[in-house]
Amino acid sequence: MQKDPSTTAYLRISSQDFSKQSIHGEVIAGEFIWDFNWNFKRGELLVSPPLGRALIHDALLRFLIKSDYSLEVGSDYTFKVRAKF
């Protein structure tokens, strides 16, 4: 049986602003590095640069929705993406 393709994404939280209800950080997966801004009140996730953004956006959004209130500045997290980068 063949294994499903997956890539481990590494996430670091660089800042939180509870008054604006947002989290800013960086995510690395494969050869890609993105910055993100998650506004959890509006459910809005901005990811840049655009190169490869479609590969990470949905998986990152699912992770953030599940974990947003437990994430801490300066901490590192990992999650799996169901694709090989």
Query: Is the Cβ–Cβ distance between 7 and 30 less than 8 Å?
Result: yes
Query: Is the Cβ–Cβ distance between 35 and 47 less than 8 Å?
Result: yes
What band does 68 get if pLDDT is binned at 50, 70 and 90?
Answer: confident
| pLDDT value of position 78 | 97
Task: Tell me the average pLDDT across 17-21.
Answer: 89
What band does 4 get if pLDDT is binned at 50, 70 and 90?
Answer: confident
State how far the Cα of 17 lies from the Cα of 2, in Å rounded to an integer.
43
Average pLDDT, the chain: 92
| pLDDT value of position 69 | 78
| pLDDT value of position 1 | 63
Task: Tell me the average pLDDT across 18-23.
Answer: 90
Helix residue ranges, H only, the chain: 53-67
Q: Give the bridge partners for 76, in sequence order.
A: 12
